Structure 1
Amino acid sequence: MVGKNTINKTMNLEHVEPHLVDDFDQFVREVRQHAPVPLLSMHVVGSALTVDFDPETSDINSVCVFREINTNLLDFLVSLGKKYRGRRIGAPVLMTPEYIQRSLDVFPIEFLNFQAIHLTVAGEDIFQTIVLQDRDLRLQCEREIKSKLLWLHQSYLQSLGDSDLLAGQLARSISGYFPLFRALLRLSGLKIPLSNQEVLASLKEIVHQDTSIFEIIHDLKRDTGHPSRQELATCFDRYYRATSELALFIDQLDDRE
């Protein structure tokens, strides 16, 4: 089971520019004071709490837990969204306590990542007490990795030989791998690191395969890599093979149970 030992106690927004933090603080105050439904808790999640926050493109993302969710609340948040448009505050993920309890077995990867990387800015730390089952994590890992294989087929075909289009698709895809990687680390009994680079280093320890292609695609996302047409073809082939090998690794996790 995955529980309290997942939580990192040192979360803060030190990687976010002060004026963005000030804007977010104001946003939190408005939600707490004026939401038409009681706010039970609010949590910053994701890259804003890590060195992977990009001051040019990243948003501050959050999860808001309300007593209930209705159209009055949604309309209120729409009005706030218009007010804070362009100020790097992502649309919050909305949940109720009941939704969380009923969904832990359906979205364990998402809840694991919320639990591992979050900062509670209002109310109780609801992520501290959730418990996730290994069997649910493994099953979602299998679904996710095999969906990625299908997506890679489709992306290659849909690019119609356009290298720029394919490069963009691959670069955008890597973000979806890291929640899966963190789940695999937890299933292997390892502590979940904060930064993507540390996650990749830890992943290499457990899967015993070449994971450097994930770093290369990550560099594409950060616009630090510009492969030629031939290099891109090689990248795709390695990316596909590495994803296939991860799928086999996850299948073997099932055999160990």
Structure 2
Amino acid sequence: MAKIPHQPEEIFAEFTADLKSIFQDGLLSIILFGSGARGEYVRKKSDINFLVILSEEAIQTIGLAIPLVKKWRKRAVSLPLFLTPLYVKSSLDSFPMEFLEMKTHHRLVFGEDYLAPLEIKSEHLRLQCEREVKGKLLHLRQGYLSSQGKSRILRSLLIQSLPTFATIFSALLSLKGEPIPTKKLDIFLRTAEVFDLDTEVFRIIFQMRYERRKLSKPKLQDLTNKYIEEIRKLSKMVDKL
């Protein structure tokens, strides 16, 4: 049976060797990002996320990696993100938020570090933040209505929104010139402080997702209303950044 590693670095050498056996000189870089790079990896709960940079020629043979995807999924490695240097360079205006998150918290496993030198333009970052916050606000409102007040659906709506907001909030802190904390909870709490939001709302939802905190139906509905209101307030502030 495939062994799930206790820490991501336990598989670095084997994972690198597997990719080198396929792409050879076309393998330019392997970078760890996500919970493993932030020091929040939890065995059997967290995925291990890799960014793999290939040459333009090598990425045309990406299908050769299909057997490895199946092998490594059994060891908690999520589907690697395969990119080329050109794609990274030409996509900073399209995905500034995602590249900022990877740049802020990553660990070089093999080859050249393509993330450290990246320069994210604030105007691109602000525009994506506005689009994402307003889009998530609509999603929360629609989800609340379609839930018909059922606790199971409301709980899922709240906790599933959290990872995306962690990325958005990191970008908002960057726009404010604030250092981005390493831990997710600290990202939520610091953003709430900077934008004058209710920190307790985000703390409770974080506990629901990561600590399995449970709420009664009335408290869950009240929390949902407060959460939507805080995101509504944030959407107005982002519009003025």
TM-score (norm 2): 0.91
- Residue number among 221, 228, 231 corresponding to 1:243 in the alignment: 231
**Matched residue, 2:42:** 54
Measured in 1, the distance between the counterparts of 2:222 and 2:236 equals 21
Gaps of 5+ in 1: 1-15
* Equivalent residue runs for 1:15-94 within 5 Å: 17-18=6-7, 21-35=9-23, 38-68=26-56, 70=59, 72-73=61-62, 75-94=63-82
Partner of 1:121: 109
Deviations 1:192-245 (A, max 9, x none): 111012212321331122132112111111143101110110110011011111
- 2:94 aligned residue: 106
Could you tell me which residue of structure 1 aligns to residue 119 of structure 2? 131
1:142 counterpart (111, 126, 130):
130
Counterpart in 1 of 2:170?
Answer: 182
Task: State the Cα deviation string for residues 167-209 of structure 1 (Å, max 9, x = none).
Answer: 0121111010011111111111111111012212321331122
1:166 shift after superposition: 1.8
Is the counterpart of residue 232 in structure 1 residue 220 in structure 2?
yes
3-state SS of 1:127 partner: coil
**Paired AA for residue 35 in structure 2:** S
Does the CA contact (< 8 Å) of 1:109 and 1:183 recur in 2? Answer: yes
Regions of 4+ moved over 4 Å: none
The answer as to whether partners of 1:113 and 1:179 remain within 8 angstroms in 2 is yes
The aligned counterpart of 2:189 is 201
Tell me which amino acid in the other structure corresponds to 1:72: T
* Corresponding residue of 1:211: 199
Deviation at 1:122, TM superposition (A): 0.9
Question: 1:170 is matched with which residue?
Answer: 158
Provide the aligned length of Structure 1 versus Structure 2: 236
- Bigger mean CA deviation after superposition, 86-95 or 24-33: 24-33
Q: Distance in 1 between matches of 2:205 and 2:122?
A: 29
Q: Deviations over 1:52-79 (max 9, x none)?
A: 3232321110111111264532x22210
Deviation at 1:24, TM superposition (A): 4.2
Gaps of 5+ in 2: none
Identity of aligned residues (%): 32
User: 2:103 is paired with a residue of what secondary structure?
Assistant: helix
TM-score normalised by the chain length of structure 1: 0.86
The answer on whether the counterparts of 1:24 and 1:89 sit within 8 Å (CA) in structure 2 is no
Question: Residues 12 and 109 of structure 2 are in contact (CA less than 8 Å); yes or no, is this contact kept in structure 1?
Answer: no
Kept in 2, the 8 Å contact 1:185–1:192? The answer is yes
- Aligned partners of 2:53 and 2:107: how far apart in 1? 14
2: CA distance between counterparts of 1:32 and 1:228? 52
SS of 1:128's equivalent? Answer: coil
Q: For structure 1, which segment, 99-108 or 76-85, has the greater mean C-alpha deviation from structure 2 after superposition?
A: 76-85
